[in-house]
Amino acid sequence: MYVDQLKKFLDSHRPLSEITVRSLFNDFALRYNHESNRIEGNNLTLVETRVFLEQGVTVKGKPFKDFLDVNNHRLAIDYMMDLIDKKEPLSEGYIKKFNAILLKSTKDDQYAGVYRHIPITIAGSPHTPPQPYLIAPKMEELINSYHTDIAHPIEKIAKFHAKFEAIHPFIEGNGRTGRLIMNTELMKHGYPMAIIKSDDKDTYYEALIAADNGDYSLIINLITEEVENSIKQTLSVIDPEWPIKFEHYFSNEKER
C-alpha cells in the first residue's frame, strides 16, 4: 500500500529531534481539535481556537460552549497521548473516559462516560442506532472483534470507527469520541493522526452511511487518504525535497 511506503520512508528519517516532534504534534493537535469540533458545529476559526488554547482569550459573540468543547478536547488529546505512551489496549474503560472528558461541565455532564439509556436518532442519517439494552453487548463484541481482526491496521481501525458510530453508545459526543479512538489506535500502530476536515463532512457522513449498508471501502479510503496527507505534511516539514528522495528510496530498494 502507498500509505505504508510513505510510513516506511518517514520511519527512515527517525529519530526526529525533540523540538521537531513537539512542533509537529502541536500543529497536528491544534488542527485536529479544530476540525473535529467544527464537524460537530463549533463556530471557532482555527486562529480563534489557537489563541484560546495558547492564551485563554475568548472572542466576544462566540458561544461559551464552543470554548469549553475546545478545552475539553485538548484534555482528551492529553489523555490520548498518555494511552499511547502506556500502549494501553483498546477497552471500554478508555472509550468511556474519552467521552467523560469531552462532556465535562457541559449541559450533558450527567451523562458523561455513561452508555445512553434512551433511544436516539442520528441527524441526517437513515440508520437507527440500537436500543439501549443492546449497547453494552454490542460494544463488548465490537472491541473483542477488533482485537482478533488480522486485517491491515488502517482497515480494521476504519471498520471499528464506522461500527462504533453506528452503535452511537453515548447521549452526546459520539463523533468526537470515535475520532479520538481512531487516532489513538492509528498512533499506537505508528501512523500519524488522520484529520478529517469539516469541509469534507458530507463525504465523511456518506462513508459512514455506506458502512451501515455493509460497504466499508469509502471510510477505509477516506481515513487512509488522511493518514497519507499527515505523513506528507510531516515529510514536508523535515525534508522539503522528500518527493524526489521518496522515488529514489524505493527505486534503490527494488534494485537490491
Task: Tell which wins on pLDDT, 256 or 153.
Answer: 153
Over residues 167-184, mean pLDDT: 98
Task: Tell me the average pLDDT of the chain.
Answer: 96
For the cut 90, the answer to whether the pLDDT of residue 8 exceeds it is yes
Please state which of the ranges 116-125, 175-184, 205-214 shows the lowest mean pLDDT.
Answer: 116-125
Instruction: Identify the DSSP state of 200.
Output: G
pLDDT tier at 254, thresholds 50, 70, 90: low
Q: Measured at the alpha carbon of residue 49, what is the angle toward residues 36 and 233, in degrees to the nearest 5?
A: 60
pLDDT tier at 126, thresholds 50, 70, 90: confident
| Cβ-based neighbours of 76, under 8 Å, separated by 6 or more | 98, 101, 102, 176, 180
For the domain bounded by 2-255, which CATH number is listed? 1.10.3290.10
Please state which of the ranges 45-54, 104-113, 130-139, 246-255 shows the lowest mean pLDDT.
Answer: 246-255
| Cβ-based neighbours of 152, under 8 Å, separated by 6 or more | 1
Q: What is the pLDDT of residues 234-245, one digit of tens each?
A: 999 999 999 999
| Residue 205 assigned ligand-binding role | yes
Active-site residue list:
168
Measured distance CA(179)–CA(74) in Å, rounded: 13
Q: Which residues pair with 115 in a beta bridge?
A: 170
pLDDT tier at 36, thresholds 50, 70, 90: very high
Measured distance CA(218)–CA(161) in Å, rounded: 12
| Residue 111 assigned ligand-binding role | no
Q: Grid coordinates 504534534 are at which residue?
A: 25
For the cut 80, the answer to whether the pLDDT of residue 255 exceeds it is no
Phi/psi of residue 151, nearest 5 degrees: -70, 170
Give me the amino acid identity at 228.
Answer: E
Q: What is the pLDDT of residues 61-110, one digit of tens each?
A: 999 999 999 999 999 999 999 999 999 999 999 999 999 999 999 999 99
- What is the reported pLDDT for 210? 97
Measured distance CA(14)–CA(16) in Å, rounded: 5
In three-state secondary structure terms, 170 is strand
